[in-house]
């Protein structure tokens, strides 16, 4: 190994790495800021422009794009014609290429970044160098991340070269690196450009709808974070990946403060818990069991909200996952640690030190509960939801819009009492997080009954009312979609429900309204459905 070309944006550990190369007689060629960085560290560097005889230009847009660079990287050392071409044109071989790319993703994630600023962070020469070296990995080593420096140096120190096995591993990582980079650029561009016309509907006569929000191609770039013990069941292998091109706080990158590794099912439940609490303006606690809320509450005092949430369905709350949208304090931790309670995992924006002590030292808790810190908790407004189906993906916007009460109207002759409006708002926000067909019953800022995932809406009503029991009298009931028949209203009225909130839109809306009026039961139509399949 005789020559290296180094051109990096991330200069972490670079001087130390280059110094070892120099110590082993490897000549270093570099450009611009990288060359100045190495020279300031006292490391001899040869200027790429001096070697190619072609200066950097256009504010650094053109630096390494030259045949004397790429031929020296792509040359097959065992090919006589390749080697003769190098000799004819006075081209040197490069055995090591160290490149990482302009920080495009970091740039576009910043608030207020302009289109032109983002464009200037699209690297051209860097990906070209990476792909050339990776293609020729039989002879050339490609390094794309500072985390790879130690492995490369270990082999150079031991053998003065890099093994074919490591060159191949680094080439795989390099192609993944450029694929991720290009996908991030493609997705960003898709979000900047005007909406594209939709394709003609299949079998629909060729007509098109309004312009689509979704690009013709969608790149999903996923980075493996860890293998999981198993999937939903022990016979299913599983792993967790992070979507690398989505800005904002992400559950999969939350900081784990305590507890054993998270399971596949833990992560699914934590995702539901996070979704349910992250957009609430007031302190909120939600209790998730099997991906459905079995309790939730809001209150100005977090410990009160915690108790109300757990007491919504205390039997189901055993072994649940909890979400908090405020730092978990000692008083709330004391409620969680009461005898007879057990929680699998918690996600919160932070934890008071006293709360961590309580939750990690009590005999029934200390070896079990997983504590995750995610700060900030705000969701990325640009994120899309992708769900696999056989042969492809379904893609949609998340259901995160804040309820627009200007679209609400009281459909019945009876109006809800003023005291019921806070619970109606609470129930309407919470019903979107239960699996459809979803029914929730709420009272005094807490869920007291949930019916979810049933094939008929009336069965969900029946389950929610049974969970609520005597507490249903004077409470409110929310439905994620319209009532197709009046049978659900008859059950609600018999249980003493005081008001109902639902989207409306059924062919039998009048039948449902008449049943409410008959029972002097107030009902609000919101005009918005909240299915969660």
Report the Cα–Cα distance between both ends of the chain, in Å, rounded.
58
Q: Which of 66, 135, 213, 519 is catalytic?
A: 135
- DSSP state for residue 41 in the 8-state scheme: T
pLDDT digits (tens, 9 = 90+) for 222-240: 888 999 999 999 999 999 9
Domain spanning 407-525, CATH architecture: 3-Layer(aba) Sandwich (3.40)
Dist. CA 175–CA 188, nearest whole Å: 20
Q: Decide if 135 is catalytic.
A: yes
Output b/e per residue, 202-241; b: 16+ Cβ within 10 A: eeeeeeeeeeeeebeeeeebeeeeeebeeeeeeeeebebe
CATH entry 3.40.50.2300 includes domain 253-373: no
In this structure, what are the phi and psi dihedrals at residue 47, rounded to the nearest 5 degrees?
-80, 125
Output the DSSP codes for 131-197. Answer: HHHHHTTTT-EEE-SGGGHHHHHHHHHHHSS--HHHHHHHHHHHHHHHHHHHHHHHHHHHHHSPPBP
Query: What was the pLDDT predicted at 203?
Result: 47
d(CA 283, CA 494): 33
Q: Which residue in 11, 66, 290, 519 is the catalytic one?
A: 290
pLDDT of residue 452: 95
pLDDT one-digit tens code per residue, 297-306: 999 999 999 9
pLDDT value of position 511:
96
The Cα–Cα gap between 70 and 390 comes to 43
Active site includes 110?
A: no
Output the pLDDT for position 204.
46
pTM, entire model: 0.78
Asked, as a colleague might, if the bond just before 83 is cis with ω within 30 of 0, I would say: no
Q: Rounded distance, CA 274 to CA 479, Å?
A: 21
Low-confidence ranges of the chain (pLDDT < 50): 203-206
Q: What is the pLDDT of residue 443?
A: 96
What pLDDT is stored for residue 256 in this prediction?
93
Domain positions in the chain are: 3-190, 253-373, 407-525
Equal CATH topology for 253-373 and 407-525: yes
Among 249, 193, 479, 189, CA closest to 379: 249
Q: What is the pLDDT of residue 53?
A: 66
- Secondary element (H or E) of residue 476: strand 476-479
Q: Determine the topology of domain 3-190 in CATH.
A: Rossmann fold (3.40.50)
How far apart, in Å, are the Cα atoms of 2 and each of 23, 82, 160, 467?
12, 18, 10, 75
């Amino acid at each position: 190994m005789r020559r290296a070309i180094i051109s990096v944006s991330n200069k972490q550990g670079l001087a130390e790495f280059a110094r070892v190369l120099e110590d082993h007689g490897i000549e270093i060629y570099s450009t611009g800021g990288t060359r100045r960085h190495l020279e300031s560290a006292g490391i001899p560097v040869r200027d790429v422009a001096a070697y190619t005889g072609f200066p950097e230009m256009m504010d650094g847009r053109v630096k390494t794009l030259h045949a004397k660079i790429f031929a020296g990287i792509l040359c097959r050392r065992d090919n006589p014609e390749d080697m003769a071409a190098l000799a004819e044109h006075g081209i040197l071989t490069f055995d090591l290429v160290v490149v990482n790319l302009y920080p495009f993703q970091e740039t576009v994630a910043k608030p207020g970044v302009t289109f032109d600023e983002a464009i200037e962070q699209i690297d051209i020469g860097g990906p070209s160098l990476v792909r050339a070296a990776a293609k020729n990995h039989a002879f050339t080593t490609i390094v794309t991340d500072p985390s790879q420096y130690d492995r490369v140096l270990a082999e150079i120190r031991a053998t003065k070269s890099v093994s074919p096995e490591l060159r191949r591993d680094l080439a795989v990582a390099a192609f993944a690196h450029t694929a991720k980079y290009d996908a991030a650029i493609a997705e960003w561009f898709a979000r900047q450009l005007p909406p594209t016309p939709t394709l003609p509907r299949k079998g629909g006569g060729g007509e098109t709808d309004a312009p689509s929000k979704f690009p013709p191609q969608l790149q999903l770039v996923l980075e493996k974070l860890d293998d999981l013990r198993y999937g939903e069941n022990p016979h299913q292998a599983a792993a967790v990946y992070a979507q690398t091109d989505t800005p904002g706080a992400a559950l999969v990158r939350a900081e784990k403060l305590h507890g054993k590794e998270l399971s596949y099912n833990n992560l699914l439940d934590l995702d539901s818990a996070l979704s349910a609490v992250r957009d609430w303006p007031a302190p909120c606690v939600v209790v998730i069991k099997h991906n459905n809320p079995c309790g939730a509450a809001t209150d100005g005092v977090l410990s009160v909200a915690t108790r109300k949430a757990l007491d919504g369905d205390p039997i189901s709350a055993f072994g649940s996952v909890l979400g908090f949208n405020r730092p978990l304090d000692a008083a709330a931790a004391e409620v969680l640690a009461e005898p007879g309670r057990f929680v699998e995992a918690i996600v919160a924006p932070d934890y008071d030190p006293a709360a961590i002590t309580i939750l990690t030292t009590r005999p029934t808790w200390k070896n079990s509960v997983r504590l995750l810190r995610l700060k900030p908790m705000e969701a990325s407004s640009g994120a899309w939801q992708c769900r696999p189906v056989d042969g492809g993906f379904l893609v949609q916007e998340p259901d995160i819009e804040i309820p627009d009460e200007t679209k609400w109207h009281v459909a019945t002759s009876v109006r809800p009492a003023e005291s019921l409006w806070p619970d109606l708002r609470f129930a309407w926000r919470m019903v979107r997080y239960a699996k459809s067909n979803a029914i929730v019953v709420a009272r005094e800022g807490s869920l007291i009954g949930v019916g979810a995932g049933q094939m008929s809406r009336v069965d969900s009503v029946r389950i929610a009312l049974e969970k609520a029991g005597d507490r249903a009298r004077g409470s409110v009931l929310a439905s994620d979609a319209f009532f197709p028949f009046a049978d659900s209203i008859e059950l609600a009225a018999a249980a003493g429900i005081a008001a109902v909130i639902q989207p409306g839109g059924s062919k039998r809306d009048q039948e449902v309204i008449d049943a409410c009026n008959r029972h002097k039961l107030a009902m609000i139509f919101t005009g918005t459905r909240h299915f969660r399949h």
